[in-house]
């Protein structure tokens, strides 16, 4: 389990934020399904409605995670950010880190989950777009999933970079000042869009490993998922 001390706010823990997001998703799943059923969509087009509910719930999880990370770290000073992240780092050991990652720790959970969910959404649009009676609803679900997954990728990796920096450093930001959370969001956005940091220097092997995995996941998302999405949007649904 991730360590937490009195120096760390509860929301500094990746696992805590994950379970709050997961709980919010479950709480909203029933009223969302009821609302779509109440307007008759579930009876007219159960396939589209089922897929849209799944996509919407993932989007809810991603948005809640982003909001919680912003609340936890957005206004923290550099010192507060570093102390909170050090106090909630996972215990050393392969099994502990696997448990931590499986429960929302790190960034691969969110980046990989977002890419997989978005790919499922776009494949569903491509395959079912001409069959279902509510293709517009399915398309809307796909667009929302792309946007929230992209944002979740950036924010989750911003936390990952900040957590690694708090432990061992490894990044050099321009200006010389100690980095705050916004600086790590800036770097994560650079890697997510260009697969590299333009003015942020990577100084350690450990940090290069994180950047490499992030670049590969972002490349997959941008070239496969987004390319397919743009093709569907431009070509339309038959």
Query: Could you read off the pLDDT tens digit of each residue along the chain, which spans 238 residues?
Result: 444 444 568 999 999 999 999 999 999 888 877 776 666 665 666 777 778 888 888 999 999 999 999 999 999 999 999 999 999 887 777 777 777 877 778 788 888 888 888 788 777 777 766 555 666 777 788 888 889 999 999 999 999 999 999 999 999 998 888 999 999 999 999 999 987 778 899 999 999 999 999 999 999 888 877 667 666 666 555 5
Q: Where are the domains of the chain?
A: 10-235
Three-state DSSP class for residue 12: helix
- Give the per-residue SS3 of 23-84: HHHHHHHHHHHHHHHHCCHHHHCHHHHHHHHHHHHHHHHHHHHHHHHHHHHCCCCHHHHHHH
């Amino acid at each position: 389990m991730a360590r937490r001390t009195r120096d760390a706010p509860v929301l500094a823990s990746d696992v805590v934020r994950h379970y709050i997001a997961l709980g919010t998703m479950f709480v909203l799943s029933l009223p969302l399904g009821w609302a779509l059923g109440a307007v008759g969509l579930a009876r007219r087009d159960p396939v589209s409605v089922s897929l849209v509910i799944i996509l919407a719930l993932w989007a809810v999880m991603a948005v809640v995670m982003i909001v919680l990370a912003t609340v936890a770290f957005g206004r923290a000073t550099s010192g507060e950010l570093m102390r909170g992240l050090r106090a909630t780092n996972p215990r050393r050991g392969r099994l502990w880190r696997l448990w931590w990652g499986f429960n929302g720790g790190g960034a691969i959970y969110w980046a990989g989950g977002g890419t997989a969910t978005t790919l499922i959404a776009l494949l569903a649009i491509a395959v079912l777009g001409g069959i279902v009676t509510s293709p517009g609803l399915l398309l809307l679900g796909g667009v929302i999933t792309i946007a929230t997954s992209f944002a979740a990728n950036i924010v989750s990796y911003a936390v990952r970079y900040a957590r690694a920096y708090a432990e061992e450093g490894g990044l050099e930001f321009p200006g010389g000042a100690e980095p705050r959370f916004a600086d790590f969001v800036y770097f994560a956005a650079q890697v997510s869009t260009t697969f590299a940091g333009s003015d942020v220097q990577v100084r350690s092997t450990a940090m290069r490993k994180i950047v490499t995995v992030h670049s590969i996941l972002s490349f997959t998302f941008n070239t496969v998922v987004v390319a397919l999405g743009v093709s569907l949007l431009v070509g339309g649904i038959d």
